Amino acid sequence: MDARTVSALASLARWLTDPANWQGSHGIPVRILEHIELSGLSVLVAVAVAMPIALYFGHTGRGGFVAINVANIGRALPSLALLAFGLVIAISLGLGLGFWPTVFALVPLAIPPVLTNAYVAVREVDRDVVDAARGMGLSESQILRSIEVPLGLPLMLSGIRTAAVNVVATATLGALVAGGALGRFIVDGLALQEYDQLMAGALLVALLAIVTEVSFAALERATVPPGMVAIR
């Protein structure tokens, strides 16, 4: 490692171990909690919106074209553009800066992967199993609840995971519209040319994104129904 890398890492370590950066309303713990709160709420709203639509489309087999294309449109929406739209909406609704513009940007970002994966998850449940259940006299809502959702759960969770990792990453941009969360360190670090703060913020966000990814992956594995594990 060259001298510049060493000194950059040293100042990063100094910043991260400085007790002053761990206290108060601008401290690291508060920023992490803000980040989780912002991301968590956005993902929850997205799931609440997307899941009923996906389950209905998936169960009835209707609207497949829409469900698949939502994902492609979603990819074309740049996060910074969503933030711009979120800001315009939040201001015109009188909700101010910071938290709400960011939520408005993150929810549409999270909906496409949740919707598409949940739709595919339900569709991919073996139709023979569903027919057998129907033959045994299960009602449509029972089929959905006790057959399609449990069997499709790992795939649904994988959609929520994609959404969550995206949201955690993008929540960083909230700092641009005066929001809190970990993006604060990056945006302030860039503006003030304080590279220790900048790198610490970047490192913390990257870690949070990876932790999100890994925890959801573990959750996915844990929710595979016992019968499907046996088949694999």
Q: What is the contact surface with another protein in residues (CB under 8 A)?
A: 4-5, 8, 75-85, 87-88, 91-92, 165, 168-170, 172-173, 176-177, 183, 186-187, 189-190, 195, 198-199, 201-203, 205-206, 209-210, 213
Which structure tokens are listed for 187?
């945006």
- Identity of the residue, 48 or 66, whose beta carbon is nearer to another protein in the bound complex: 66
With contact defined as beta carbons under 8 Å apart, do 177 and 95 qualify? no
Smallest gap from Cβ 202 to another protein, in A, equals 4
- Element containing residue 170 per DSSP (H, E): helix 149-170
Neighbour-count burial of 78, counting CB atoms closer than 10 A to its CB (0-12 exposed, 13-18 middle, 19+ buried)? exposed
Smallest gap from Cβ 209 to another protein, in A, equals 5
- Identity of the residue, 176 or 224, whose beta carbon is nearer to another protein in the bound complex: 176
Owner of token pair 């209905």: 56
Smallest gap from Cβ 147 to another protein, in A, equals 30
- Identity of the residue, 120 or 209, whose beta carbon is nearer to another protein in the bound complex: 209
Smallest gap from Cβ 138 to another protein, in A, equals 37
User: Residue 38 and residue 33: Cα distance in Å, rounded?
Assistant: 8
Angle at 88 between CA 111 and CA 66, to 5 degrees: 25
